Structure 1
Amino acid sequence: MQQLNDFLTLIDNYVGSSQWFVYFLLGTGLFFTIYLKFPQFRYLKYSFRIVRGKFDRESDVGDTSHFQALATALSGTVGTGNIAGVALAIHLGGPAALFWMLMTAVIGMTTKFVEVTLSHKYREIAEDGSVSGGPMYYMKNRLNMKWLAVIFAIATILSSFGTGSLPQINSIASSAFSTFGIAPIVTGAVLSVILAFVIIGGIKRIAKITEKLVPIMAIIYFIGAIGVIGYNYQNIIPSLTSIISDVFTGTAAVGGFLGAGFSFAFNRGVNRGLFSNEAGQGSAPIAHAAARAHEPVSEGLVALLEPFIDTIIICMLTGMVILSSGAWTKKIDNQFQYSDMSILNGVYTDQNQEGKDLLYNYIAGKQELDMFTGNLLVTDGRITNEVTVVNSRSLAEDVVVLKNGKNLTGEIPVQNGRITNTENLLFKGKSLIHSAALTTEAFTESWFGDYGRYIVSIGILLFAFSTAISWSYYGGRATIFLFGVKGDIYFRIVYVIGFFLASFTDTTIIWTFSGITIALMTLPNLFGILMLHKEMKSEVGLFWKEWSDRFPGEKTPNY
């Protein structure tokens, strides 16, 4: 598994985690923001009115209402990215990563507006009578690039696993195990059966479920988050200050956190921001294509709300919970994941600046340290060699080694800082934690105490499961585009199987795979919408002309 993760990480370094990908994503959003004169600010109030049915016609074609389409798309974006993804971004890049997540969302509002508008315009009616749409249709019908549409559709299917299925159930299973002690395989089995029943009903059943789930999960999560932030009220201003003050300098070492530079915070913030709101990825247009609307820009304006709700509101709440609670800098008793762990030859410390600098430069990839190779000697669970265990980008403390549930006495072969045989072997101790575990810990620092864990578990269950439901639809539409309606049932079967298997697979591998699939889906979509920038501007003009004709006494924005 470690070799697989190393291979995926190598690929991700050239794609999703590379600087050029981040600049291309933000650059596209900035271009449309300026080109369309900041629609995310000027058109926002009209978005809310359209969601309420202001622009509807009885003759509009589609399978869902504006609100149902928004709820379905939101259920696809509001998932582990809002709970685990924010925590991972702060763990890697410090508070400044949250700032870049928010900036990505502001720019992403325009990107989402553009991609949904263009995709909605070129949607089609599938063989079974349902509406089918997404970037692959404008690529085929408008750009006449069937080859690009095929690449996008294949990437969508891959991303339905990398974004919608694998990391979602993994976070649910991990949270259920840490909170309730339920074995991940049991959680995976039960939810896989429920998922299968839901997705068989298609978009209409999915829309009915998501329009109820989204408000419920938002309310529960909001109450829990406010409980933490209010309990730690004295840390609100310092937390907000750290988000801004560290933007261009990076975050210095504090507590068990060894620090993070500007470029890493920027990259991780943008990367996790995209994972959270999916702006530019091309997923939301597939859900919005099913909406009843005669004018594509109207549905684009509905989609404009998604990054605002998903990232600016919900991710900001999660970020403030993590920062105000202080959990992101605390070493906490946990079970180490081998992909997060390395063993250094010699003894290092994080109790002085020299030691912190050495360790930070190592985890940041700026300096190589001597990795341990040989047999790790363990007596009654304690390592007796002169070595240092690094876990989750921090110096591990009070490390205990267990085999078959009991303190180990014996030898463990290690090659270049990695355990070579991990069967029935378990490392535990104090270190920083990340992803869903970090958010769960942060939620206990409130008036709810340990009951805060249940809020996160319920939130992850609702958020992540609804995301898995929506992404099954996205992957299914891509399958229909490639193979016709008959191929959809086979995709759903594989999707449910993958959902089950991911419940007990290494978290880090899943997140790494997710980053790759996001990039593979995003690049063709960004290329396509840039080619159609003039058509987009023309569509906006036609929309506001129709709005003026229908509501003659109302002043409309300049376009």
Structure 2
Amino acid sequence: MYKILSQLDSFVWGPPLLVLLVGTGIYLSVRLGLLQILKLPKAIKLIFKADNKGQGDISSFAALATALAATVGTGNIVGVATAIKLGGPGALFWMWVAAFFGMATKYAEGVLAIKYRTKDANGEIAGGPMYYILNGMGKRWRPLAVAFSIFGVMVALFGSGTFTQVNSITESLNNAVGLSPKVISPILAIIVAIIIFGGIQSISKVSEKIVPFMATIYILAALIILAFNWKFIIPSILLIIKSAFSGQAATGGFLGATTMVAIQAGIARGVFSNESGLGSAPIAAAAAKTEEPVEQGLVSMTGTFIDTIIICSLTGLTIIVTGSWSSNLNGATLTQSAFATVFGQFGTYALTVSLILFAFTTILGWGYYGERCFEFLFGTPAITIYRLIFVAMVALGGFLKLEVIWVIADIVNGLMAIPNLVALLALSPVIIKETRRYFSK
């Protein structure tokens, strides 16, 4: 079964989906006049100076923090290391390419999230791909919206939202201080329950505090490592660019990777990290207090910039400048070895804390995403049932180490993107029209 699912996973995340993901980003980038470059200064300014007027449950910054809570996760530490190990330093270049065009995709998602959002029976904002498919493309496209919601619930309950993150937390604490996963996961489930039963208000308040703190600490630590290895920064960047087209893989256990492997590893892990095109972030963006779709689109766009262009780049560069990439290590231990070159044992502990915070906030963000998808499928009364199931899955996370579940999570993660990308392409005239209207003012 594992072998069959692995083959399906390779197919789902194969060239067709990667071409669709990057192709949609390229198309939107061209049609929007490379908005991700020209309007990035305005987008960054809006993070701190958005009006926060109009209907919505939380501020624009809180919506971004919630989206970042879900995206800045183990992918930034483990995913980058895995990509470099599989595709060599060149994988980081393709991660940048995916992120650059992904910024246009994330912008488009934010615009549509605000334009087509609605309210549920509790009076809370409901939005995201399922709503812009239904309200933007029409009722006959409901099966596409339902498909997205089913995949979203599966990712939240069986993948990015629970098991993969809980495993990262329990293994980190077990390795660092010897705490048993069977003790950690029930405690984690109680903390998660207290927060998610408070709804988006509670989740966003926690995200607003933890996300900036954890990102700042991690960025500073990575910059210190780069400062100690400043002589190797330029050669490392040249190596990344050269390897992107020559297919130089990590030496540990590899005879050599093709350029295609570098492209596939970089784009797939980049998208897994920043979630541009998957359709998750617009669920949080829809809750922002704004009347202007374009402004929220710009704020959403900065999520990909922060997640990949800044955080993933720093992880990748620390692994390459320290020479750790050519060791026999992989995953979190590869990134830990890079940190340990400067900080010693303290670096291992610092990275463990970062990994725990990154994973914990991802659980919260995906808890909300899954809830909105579940509510779309089964109605507002079902929200409590979903929250109870979600907390139970978090509690189980420390007891399960089923590789099959991880592969299933990866498959449904990829399948989520297809309905969303179809909607983005179908509604691209609306996105372009809204953008022109806003900037003409």
Residue 540 of structure 1 corresponds to which residue in structure 2?
435
CA 1:204–1:253: 2 relative to 1, 3 Å: closer
Distance 1:5 1:322 in 2: 31
* Alpha carbons 1:175, 1:436 under 8 Å: kept: no
Q: Give the secondary structure class of the aligned counterpart of 2:356.
A: helix
TM-score scaled by length of structure 1 = 0.76
Deviates most, 474-483 or 43-52: 43-52
- 1:437 positional shift: 2.2
- 2:167 — aligned with what? 170
| Residues 508/251 of structure 1: CA separation in 2 closer, same or farther (3 Å cut) | farther
Aligned to 1:218: 215
Cα distance in structure 1, aligned partners of 2:81 and 2:205: 30
Which has the higher relative contact order, 1 or 2, with Cα contacts under 8 A spaced 6 or more apart?
2
Q: Which amino acid aligns with 2:62?
A: Q
Percent sequence identity over aligned pairs: 42
Residue-by-residue CA offset, 1:311-340 (whole Å, 9 max, x unaligned): 00000111111112222222xxxxxxxxxx
Q: State the Cα distance separating 1:120 from its structure 2 match.
A: 1.5
Q: How does 1:369-408 map to 2 (within 5 A)?
A: none
Paired position in structure 2 for 1:30: 26
- Secondary structure of 1:127's counterpart equals coil
Q: Which of 229, 251, 254 is the aligned partner of 1:254?
A: 251
Distance between the aligned counterparts of 1:183 and 1:262, measured in 2? 42
Partner amino acid for 2:160? Answer: T
1:498 and 2:393 aligned:
yes
Structure 1 range deviating more: 42-51 or 22-31:
42-51
* Per-residue CA distance 1:178-228 (angstroms, 9 max, x = gap): 222222222222212111111110000111110010111012212221233
d(CA) in 1 for partners of 2:373, 2:386: 10
| Alignment correspondent of 1:116 | 110
Aligned 8 A contact 1:220 1:455 in 2: no
- CA shift, 1:510, in A, is 5.0
Counterpart CA distance in 1 for 2:184 and 2:333 is 17
CA contact (8 A) 2:163 2:397 kept: yes
Paired AA for residue 450 in structure 1:
Q
**1:61 counterpart SS class:** coil
Q: Distance in 1 between matches of 2:383 and 2:239?
A: 48
Please list, as runs of the form range in 1=range in 2, the aligned pairs for 1:1-400 lying within 5 A after superposition.
4-16=1-13, 18-57=14-53, 60-144=54-138, 145-160=141-156, 161-252=158-249, 254=251, 257-330=254-327
Matched, 1:486 2:381: yes
- Structure index of larger Rg: 1
Preserved CA contact (<8 Å) 1:93 1:265: yes
Tell whether the 8 Å contact from 2:85 to 2:249 is kept in structure 1 after alignment. no
Superposed CA offset, 1:277-332 (max 9, x none): 000010000001000011111111110101100000000111111112222222xx
Cα 1:259–1:503 change in 2 (3 A) is farther
More deviation in 301-310 or 482-491? 482-491
How many residues are treated as equivalent by the alignment? Answer: 438
Q: How many angstroms does 1:443 deviate by? A: 1.4
Could you tell me which amino acid in structure 2 is paired with residue 247 of structure 1?
A
Alignment partners' CA distance in 2, 1:484 and 1:255: 51
Give the TM-score taking structure 2 as reference length.
Answer: 0.95
| Partner Cα distance (1:223, 1:163) in 2 | 26
CA separation of 1:5 and 1:235: change in aligned 2, threshold 3 A: farther
Alpha-carbon distance in structure 2 between the residues aligned to 1:523 and 1:80: 23
Residue 443 in structure 1 maps to residue 439 in structure 2? no
Gap regions ≥5 residues in structure 1 = 331-431, 549-559
Separation (CA, whole Å) in 2 of partners of 1:497 and 1:54 = 37
Shift of residue 255, structure 1, vs aligned partner: 5.4
Give the structure with the higher percent strand: 1
Partner Cα distance (1:255, 1:148) in 2:
43
Secondary structure (helix, strand or coil) at the match of 1:443 reads helix
Q: CA deviation at 1:52?
A: 2.4
Aligned pair in 2 of structure 1 residues 304, 451: CA closer, same or farther (>3 Å)?
Answer: same
